[in-house]
A = this chain, B = another copy of it.
Amino acid sequence: MPDLLDDLRAVLGESAVLTDPDLLRGHQRDEADLCAAGMPAVVVRPRDTAEVVAVLRTAATHGVPVVPQGARTGLAGAANAVDGAVLLSTVAMDEILEVDPVNRIAVVQPGVVNAALAAEVAKHGLRYPPDPGSWESSTIGGNVATNAGGMCCVKYGVTTEYVIGLEVVLATGEVLRTGRRTAKGVAGYDLTRLFVGSEGTLGVITEVTVSLRPAAEESLTLVAVFPSTTAAGQAVAGISAQGLSPSLLELLDRTHLGAIEAYRPMGLRTDAGALLLAAADTGPRAAADLARVAEVCTASGADEVFAATDAAEAAALLQARRLAHPAMERFAAETYPGGNGGLIIDDVAVPRTALAALLDGVARIADEYDIPIGVVGHAGDGNMHPNIVVDRADPASLERGRLAFDAIMELGLSLGGTCTGEHGVGLLKRDWLAREIGPVGVRVHRAIKEALDPIGLLNPGKVL
């Protein structure tokens, strides 16, 4: 009987079936720290839907699990290998198949990079809003599989709001088309959104139809400097209470301000307790709206509020926010020299009214477990990323990090929140998902998984 690799080569050709040990090791995991990753048998790079079908059929015949992968920029371990698996990378399916400016839709293969789609639709005066931190490298397939968020979500929503149709290869090898190309449609169950965010456990996405918006105008940007994260959190609730809807509302705490300023000096107020960055799409009302945002910030205790003087300064401020992740990685490396500094990147969302309480609580947890935790995130959505700095070489530090992580999850749920606002469940949060959705929720998840993937072929051990 021919082995798995022979069979894969027979259907894909030699060049799409990769077994180089270094390459396999390089594909073992996404960007989540602290998640287990097995050693795959092979990485395959199918070029079209028929080849994806062939991969799934071949893997099923051999009883070998399949783990779909995009750019592996995920932060929950959802793309991590399991031992002996076929890693199905969609990066070779990277064609933008269609941009239809009048119907405001685009049809793309899963391997198209988010930034490439954004650039292409911009030529038509259109915008694909979802902008995860990884947008310059992550793929639309991965964005859809994880229901990726970003900074624009506070006004424009997450990935699922923009996915109107999918082509998906099921574990059976069947090709399912979901959704529509029309602005509206209610024909049958919403299978499209069942697959969005299912992290490769229900099918392999081979084509995505997204809706687009007219390009946003340039935006005005405001900075408010607060003595404490609590005050910044209260300002966010106040902004919402005033009926304002900024197009961006981000928070950076003192740890992040210091880390970013050290990473790329730009004169940030590193003495501040927290900084809020707000923006409003231009248009005649934006200035008035931002003035009201400024008023709320001042009333909440901001000791400095200023507007970006021009587009260049506004872009620099956004760039500072986008540097949070690499800057914190450097901060961790410098905190624990010798290559052992690491980050446990958390992701928790609470009702906006509970944001101040969440931020207070995270500070308490950092004290209690005697471990550095910086907080950054999408304040306008109540979606925060507490980043726990650990010494990977020190089991005691790792253990304190894990305990702090659990304490943050516990706190988030107790405040009426969710264990993941945008990074997903993967391996990192399976237990917390079960806790959040309860036994009936878990049973229904399992029933759906079994209905769609009865042989357990796809991404076993993730989510559930």
Residues on A lying within 8 angstroms of B by beta carbon are: 100-105, 125-126, 146-147, 149, 153-154, 158, 160-161, 170, 174-178, 180-191, 193-194, 196-198, 202, 213-215, 237, 240-241, 243-245, 283-285, 349-353, 378, 380-383, 416-425, 429, 433, 436-438, 440-441, 443-445, 447-448, 450-452, 463
* Residue on B nearest A441 in the bound complex, by CB: B176
> Do A187 and B419 contact each other (CB < 8 Å), given the known contacts A243-B214, A452-B447?
yes
Q: List 6 A-B contacts (CB under 8 A).
A: A147-B190, A158-B186, A160-B193, A183-B352, A183-B381, A188-B425
Identical copies of this chain, number: 2
Sample of 5 more A-B contacts, CB < 8 Å, known A177-B440, A193-B193, A284-B285:
A100-B351, A181-B416, A182-B418, A182-B421, A190-B190
With CB as the reference atom, state the residue of chain B lying closest to A380: B183
Q: Is the CB of B188 within 8 A of A433?
A: yes
Q: Is the CB of B183 within 8 A of A349?
A: yes
With CB as the reference atom, state the residue of chain B lying closest to A444. B176
Chain B residue nearest to A217 in the complex (CB): B285
**Once bound together, how far apart are the Cα atoms of A216 and B350, in whole Å?**
26
Nearest chain B CB to A191 CB, angstrom units:
6
- Asked if A450 contacts B451 (CB within 8 A), the reply is yes
Q: Is the CB of A451 within 8 A of B447?
A: yes
Which residue in B176, B245, B350, B436 is a CB contact (below 8 Å) of A187?
Answer: B436
Do residues A452 and B441 form an inter-chain contact, with CB atoms below 8 A? no
Q: In angstroms, how far is the closest chain B Cβ from the Cβ of A455?
A: 13
Contact of A383 among B102, B183, B350 (CB under 8 A): B183
Task: Please name the 9 residue pairs, one residue from A and one from B, whose CB atoms are nearest each other, closest first.
Answer: A284-B284, A451-B451, A185-B418, A447-B451, A214-B243, A183-B381, A182-B349, A184-B421, A193-B193
The residues of B that contact A378 with a CB separation of less than 8 Å are 184
Bound state CA distance, A183 and B239, in angstroms? 14
Q: Tell me the complex Cα distance, A214–B155, Å.
A: 12
Q: What is the CA–CA distance of A415 and B245 in the complex, to the nearest angstrom? A: 38
Across the interface, do B189 and A198 meet the contact criterion of CB distance under 8 Å? yes
A184-B445 in contact given A102-B241, A190-B194 (Cβ < 8 Å): no
Q: Kindly report which residue of chain B lies nearest to residue A429, judged by CB atoms.
A: B187
**Chain B residues with CB under 8 A of A433:** 187-188
Contacts of A194 in B (CB 8 A): 189-190, 193-194, 448
Tell me which residues across on chain B come within 8 A of A196, comparing CB atoms.
190
* Inter-chain contacts of A160 with B (CB < 8 A): 190, 193
Residues of chain B within 8 A of A149, CB atoms compared? 184, 186
- In the complex, which of the residues B181, B215, B243, B349 contacts A351, with contact meaning CB atoms closer than 8 Å? B181
Q: Establish whether residues A441 and B103, one from each chain, have CB atoms under 8 Å apart when the complex forms.
A: no
- What residues on B are CB-neighbors of A447 within 8 Å? 451-452
Contact A182 B285 (CB under 8 A): no
- A190, A417, A419 pick with most chain B CB within 10 angstroms: A190
CB-defined contacts of A353 to chain B, threshold 8 Å? 100, 102-103
Minimum distance in angstroms from A277 CB to a CB of chain B: 17
| Contact status of A161 and B158, CB under 8 A, knowing A441-B191, A451-B448 | no
The distance from the CB of A158 to the nearest CB of chain B, in whole angstroms, is 6
